[in-house]
């Protein structure tokens, strides 16, 4: 406990310097700005803004990136409430009740409760990250290659189970990601693998290239299919503050949403999207008046918004302690850290405590900023939403192009992104979810390395994965999860959650 306070104090010292506060503010603002725009997700946002952080010191860069991430998360809910189109996939459920509230002239309280819920969830999650960081890091020291491999398998299985749509197709997506990640030089022997003799491929395909192609450009291609104007709530937004009964009604929902979100965020493969869905469904189930949901119930805004923010933050835990990205956004964070010469994992906390704790403390500061700056800026966001899509997407395209080019100063990377844009669009057209593919792509090299090492240590004995207790447990959990997801009854429930 004493350690916890001491560590957070150290973090505050780092995060509260003038320059870092500025970076956090810029990150949060820019993140919200882009999050508000419909049709560009947080992954593409971070990828697009990655070059902005190149010239910064590592701590500042990570603080800014984290700010962009939860800013984008928050901006997404603003769009959900005002236009009934989710700015982010994690705020899909917020549309249901949030937009309904806005139509009833209660956009102000809806936005406010989303902000308050997010802030509360952010505070709790920050403490949780700080509290769980140290013990989990010591767990990580017990992990050998076999355990790491099993843990990553578990993460991928989680991603499959929690993804929407067919479990089988999600599994194929993971394998596709793993396979694509094999392209490039072999880490141990240096052999060129599946490069087709193209020298630019010998370093492998960059994560930013795949992520931006599939999510950034791919999403634009999809959005161009259905053109139409957005219907923004026309009624004046008056009275930002929620009333006392509002707060009372939302308090329980915020608490439950926070707990649910925190738990789901830590799980590998989970993340903000599933957390918001789960919180909404749960809230509807425990409510005394479930019929109010979908007609502007304030709990229906409070619960998913708290949950997705909590999950967004706790998903840093596996990344910072075990070095394993639990979702695609965190995978991009790994990319960003690598550019700045930081290897994510347990050693970050022991060797660079100021980086670790500084980032955690900045999350709290960033959440506070979100509450303070966003409510007065609602008018600006509304005006931004009136910009037609034909002006928006050229902007996104050019920023993405420049962003990708500036990672390696390589035109080849830009060309590759075009290919992955088609791949992403094609996958969605055939109802394959690209998110598990990205996760597989990121975890691929790590998984192969640990698999090889584990096999070598065990002298080629593949049973090592089930004879070592921790590894066996992790694999057993993965197997059970997969079986449950394939069982018809659970599958029905799962679909129910996603269709609601």
Partner 1 sequence: MSDVVPSGGWSRSPDDQRRYDLVSGLVIAVLGLILLAASFLTESPVPLTVRGAVVIFSAVGVAVAAGWLRPQNSQDFYGGMALILLSLTAFVASNELPGMRGIAFGPGTAPRLFAFALAVLSLVVVASGLMARGPHVTPFKVRGIVFILGAILVFAATIRTLGLVIASFACIVVCAAAAEDVRWRETVIWAAILTAFCALLFPYGLNLPFQLWPPFW
Q: 141 to 180, contacts with partner 1 by CB under 8 A?
A: 164, 168-169, 171-172, 175-176, 178-179
For partner 1, give the closer residue by CB, 131 or 455. Answer: 455
| Region binding partner 1 by CB under 8 A among candidate stretches 109-117, 356-364, 418-426, 473-481 | 418-426
Q: What are phi and psi of 285, to 5 degrees?
A: -70, -40
Question: Cα separation of 276 and 98, whole Å?
Answer: 13
CA–CA gap between residue 121 and residue 126 (Å, rounded): 8
**Binds partner 1 (CB under 8 A): choice among 405, 408, 484, 491:** 405
Min. distance of Cβ 500 from partner 1 in angstroms?
A: 12
Q: How far is CA 423 from CA 161, 224, 267, 406, 441, in A?
A: 23, 16, 28, 23, 14
- Asked whether position 415 contacts partner 1 by CB under 8 A, the answer is yes
Interface residue with partner 1, options 198, 402, 476, 480 (CB under 8 A):
402
Q: State which of residues 4, 5, 22, 224 lies at the interface with partner 1 (CB under 8 A).
A: 224
Size of the site for partner 1 (CB under 8 A): 80
Using a 10 angstrom Cβ sphere, with 0-12 exposed, 13-18 middle and 19 or more buried, the burial of residue 140 is: buried
Instruction: Tell me if 482 contacts partner 1 by CB under 8 A.
Output: no
Give the nearer residue to partner 1 in terms of CB position, either 182 or 472: 182
- Report if residue 484 touches partner 1, rule: CB under 8 A: no
Restricted to residues 12-41, the positions that interact with partner 1 (CB under 8 A) are: 38-39, 41
Question: What is the dihedral angle through the alpha carbons of 345, 346, 350, 353, rounded to the nearest 10 degrees?
Answer: 50
By CB under 8 A, name the one of 62, 124, 205, 273 that touches partner 1: 273
* Identity of the residue, 168 or 476, whose beta carbon is nearer to partner 1 in the bound complex: 168
Binder among 18, 141, 142, 191 for partner 1 (CB under 8 A): 191
Q: Which member of 227, 234, 238, 463 binds partner 1 (CB under 8 A)?
A: 227
Per CB under 8 A, which region of 67-75, 220-228, 300-308, 311-319 contacts partner 1? 220-228
261 forms part of the interface with partner 1 (CB under 8 A): no
> Alpha-carbon distance 256 to 239, whole Å?
26
Q: Which is nearer to partner 1, 205 or 349 (CB)?
A: 205
* Among 104, 352, 406, 408, contact with partner 1 (rule: CB under 8 A): 406
Going by C-alpha positions, the residue among 315, 350, 306 that lies closest to residue 334 is: 315
CA gyration radius, the chain: 22
Q: Of 308, 320, 253, 240, nearest to 282 (Cα)?
A: 253
| Interacting positions 198-217 with partner 1 (CB under 8 A) | 217
311 neighbors 259 (Cβ within 8 angstroms): no
Q: Find the part of the chain contacting partner 1 (CB under 8 A) among 312-320, 328-336, 337-345, 424-432.
A: 424-432
Q: Which of 107, 136, 89 is nearest to 296 (CA)?
A: 107
**Which of 3, 186, 354, 500 is close enough to bind partner 1 by CB under 8 A?**
186
Shortest reach from residue 425's CB to partner 1, in Å: 7
Instruction: Kindly indicate which of the ranges 150-158, 303-311, 350-358, 413-421 contains the residues binding partner 1, using the contact rule CB under 8 A.
Output: 413-421
Q: Which is nearer to partner 1, 209 or 348 (CB)?
A: 209
**CA gap 462, 141 in Å, rounded:** 22
Site for partner 1 in 284-323 (CB under 8 A): none
Q: 80: exposed, middle or buried (C-beta count within 10 Å: 0-12, 13-18, 19+)? A: buried
Question: Which residues inside 372-401 make contact with partner 1, applying CB under 8 A?
Answer: 388-391, 393-395, 397-399, 401
Residue 131 burial (C-beta neighbours within 10 Å; 0-12, 13-18, 19+): middle
Question: In angstroms, what is the minimal distance from the CB of 398 to partner 1?
Answer: 5
Q: Which stretch binds partner 1 (CB under 8 A): 120-128, 238-246, 368-376, 428-436?
A: 428-436
Q: Say if CB 6 and CB 128 are below 8 A apart.
A: no
**Which one, 290 or 411, has the nearer CB to partner 1?**
411
Span of 4-12, 86-94, 202-210, 342-350 interacting with partner 1 by CB under 8 A: 86-94
Residue with tokens 């004046």: 236
Largest Cα span, the chain: 71
Q: Which stretch of DSSP H or E encloses residue 185?
A: strand 184-185
Per CB under 8 A, the list member of 17, 371, 448, 481 interacting with partner 1 is: 448
Q: How many CA atoms lie within 13 A of 189 on its CB side?
A: 4
Instruction: Answer yes or no: are the C-beta atoms of 113 and 374 closer than 8 Å.
Output: no
In the list 418, 479, 487, 490, the residue contacting partner 1 (rule: CB under 8 A) is 418
Smallest distance from the beta carbon of 211 to partner 1, in angstroms? 14
Segment contacting partner 1 by CB under 8 A, of 88-96, 252-260, 360-368, 463-471 = 88-96
Q: Which helix (H) or strand (E) holds 192?
A: strand 192-193
Q: What number of other Cβ atoms are within 10 A of residue 411's Cβ? A: 12
Question: Residue 425 and residue 246: Cα distance in Å, rounded?
Answer: 42
Q: Which of residues 40-69 bind partner 1 (CB under 8 A)?
A: 41, 51-52, 54-55
The closest alpha carbon to 27, from 385, 363, 332, belongs to: 363
């Amino acid at each position: 406990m004493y350690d916890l306070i001491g560590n957070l104090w150290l973090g505050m010292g780092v995060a509260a310097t003038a320059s870092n506060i500025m970076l956090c503010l810029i990150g949060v603002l820019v993140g919200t700005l882009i999050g508000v725009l419909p049709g560009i997700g947080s992954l593409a946002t971070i990828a697009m803004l990655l070059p902005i952080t190149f010239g910064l010191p590592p701590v500042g860069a990570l603080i800014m990136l984290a700010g962009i991430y939860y800013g984008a998360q928050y901006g997404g809910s603003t769009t959900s409430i005002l236009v009934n189109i989710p700015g982010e996939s994690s705020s899909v459920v917020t549309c249901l009740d949030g937009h309904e509230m806005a139509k009833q002239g209660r956009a102000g309280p809806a936005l406010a409760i989303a902000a308050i819920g997010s802030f509360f969830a952010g505070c709790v999650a920050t403490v949780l990250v700080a509290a769980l960081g140290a013990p989990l890091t010591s767990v990580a020291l017990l992990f050998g290659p076999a355990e790491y491999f099993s843990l990553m398998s578990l993460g991928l299985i989680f991603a499959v189970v929690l993804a929407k749509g067919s479990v089988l197709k999600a599994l194929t997506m993971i394998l596709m990601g793993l396979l694509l990640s094999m392209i490039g030089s072999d880490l141990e022997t240096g052999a060129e693998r599946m490069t087709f003799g193209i020298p630019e491929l010998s370093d492998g395909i960059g994560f930013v290239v795949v992520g931006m192609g599939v999510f950034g450009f791919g999403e634009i291609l999809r959005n161009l299919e259905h053109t139409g104007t957005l219907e923004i709530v026309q009624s004046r937004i008056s009275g930002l503050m929620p009333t006392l009964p509002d707060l009372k009604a939302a308090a329980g929902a915020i608490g439950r949403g926070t707990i649910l979100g925190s738990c789901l965020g830590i799980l590998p493969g989970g993340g903000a999207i599933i957390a918001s869905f789960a919180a909404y469904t749960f809230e509807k189930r425990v409510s005394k008046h479930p019929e109010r949901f979908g007609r502007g119930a304030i709990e229906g805004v409070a619960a998913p918004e708290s949950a997705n923010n909590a999950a967004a933050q706790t998903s840093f835990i596996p990344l910072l302690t075990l070095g394993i990205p639990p979702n695609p956004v965190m995978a991009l964070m790994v990319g960003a850290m690598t550019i700045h010469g930081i290897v994510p994992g347990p050693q970050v906390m022991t060797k660079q405590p100021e980086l670790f704790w500084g980032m955690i403390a900045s999350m709290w500061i960033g959440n506070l900023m979100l509450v303070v700056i966003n409510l007065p800026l609602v008018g600006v966001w509304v005006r931004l939403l009136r910009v037609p899509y034909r002006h928006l997407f050229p902007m996104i395209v050019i920023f993405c192009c420049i962003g990708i080019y500036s990672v390696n100063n390589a035109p080849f990377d830009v060309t590759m992104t075009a290919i992955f844009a088609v791949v992403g669009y094609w996958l969605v057209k055939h109802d394959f979810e690209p998110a598990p593919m990205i996760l597989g792509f990121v975890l691929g090299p790590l998984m192969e390395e640990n698999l090889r090492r584990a096999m070598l240590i065990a002298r080629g004995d593949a049973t090592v994965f089930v004879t070592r207790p921790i590894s066996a447990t992790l694999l057993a959990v993965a197997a059970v999860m997969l079986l449950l997801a394939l069982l018809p009854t659970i599958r029905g429930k799962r679909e129910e959650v996603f269709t609601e």
